[in-house]
Amino acid sequence: MSERINSLLDRAFHKRVLRRWTKLVDRAEAADLSTLRKMRSRAREIRRRLDDVLHIADARLTLPLVGTNAIVKPLHSDWAWRPQIWRGPVSPPGIAAVQTRMTLGGEATVFHDCTITELTFRQIRNTREEDLAPFGLRMDVFRFDGSFLSLAIDLPAEAVEGLQRRHLLRLSMVVEMEQPLEIFARLNVRHGPNTEQIVRELPLNEVETMVEFDLAYTNMNEKRVERAWIDLIFENPEMNQIVIRDLTLARRPRAEI
């Protein structure tokens, strides 16, 4: 009973507040400047609170939901992962005039050799029905006077735990761009003083794309694997907008023959 009374009181109070601000809107045109300043100050205070509520509500109610981690994995995968940028909100959500070695979230780092930086990164909210990742990453590149642009993503410790040469590592991406460009993915595996590298070009004839790294073609010392990371290398990115809607990695053992 008390909950019902509280609900009725809450609705009545809400209607009263709406009526009050509707009257203030009608009075704003004719109000003197002193009164108008007070109205503006109060409206801004309320707007800040409303924006906070809307930001939280949009993040929680927009699909896909924040915190979901659905990943399409190859059969027999023993590990799968989506980096934080595509999984949950990062701070800051956007960076302008991005400098080299600037980090995005706790796992990604930007590298370039531009003299004048006209490069921005922004985490965006995915809202399409087909999106599995809650967030995406948008890169806007204007003038680009450097020779390379790459995004390095550190893999977690679970990725290299038990890593063997019989493993295949799959990188899957959903990527959109204004102008065609080449994107290369380089897997780096550090074992002792050495680092094994495998480079693959992403086939970009489709929005959803993937490449696989076969560790059988490396000289990796399975007993000394320390860490691994992926470099996404963007060729000639000038005057382009690149949106990576999703990025996932999965590991599976090669089928025994």
What are the structure tokens assigned to 202, written together? 């992403």
Residue 46 neighbours by CB under 8 Å, 6+ apart: none
Distance CA 144, CA 238 (A): 5
pLDDT tens per residue, range 92-106: 888 888 899 988 878
Among 61-65, 139-143, 249-253, the least confident range: 61-65
Among 19-23, 62-66, 70-74, 172-176, the least confident range: 62-66
pLDDT tens per residue, range 30-71: 888 888 888 888 888 888 888 777 766 666 666 565 556 678
The answer to whether the beta carbons of residues 110 and 104 sit under 8 Å apart is yes
Helix ranges, the chain (H): 2-28, 33-61, 84-87, 157-160
Q: To which residue do tokens 């109205």 refer?
A: 39
Q: Is the peptide bond before 64 cis (omega within 30 degrees of 0)?
A: yes
pLDDT above 70 covers a percentage of the chain that reads 90
Distance CA 102, CA 137 (A): 15
With 0-12 CB in 10 A as exposed, 13-18 as middle and 19+ as buried, what is 133? Answer: buried
Specify the domain boundaries for CATH 2.60.120 within the chain.
79-253
What are the structure tokens assigned to 256, written together? 């025994």
Q: To which residue do tokens 């992962």 refer?
A: 81
Q: Which fold has domain 79-253?
A: Jelly Rolls (2.60.120)
Helix axes 33-61, 2-28, angle to 10 degrees: 130
Question: What is the pLDDT at residue 2?
Answer: 56
Rounded to a whole number of angstroms, the CA Rg of the chain reads 25
pTM above 0.75, yes or no: no
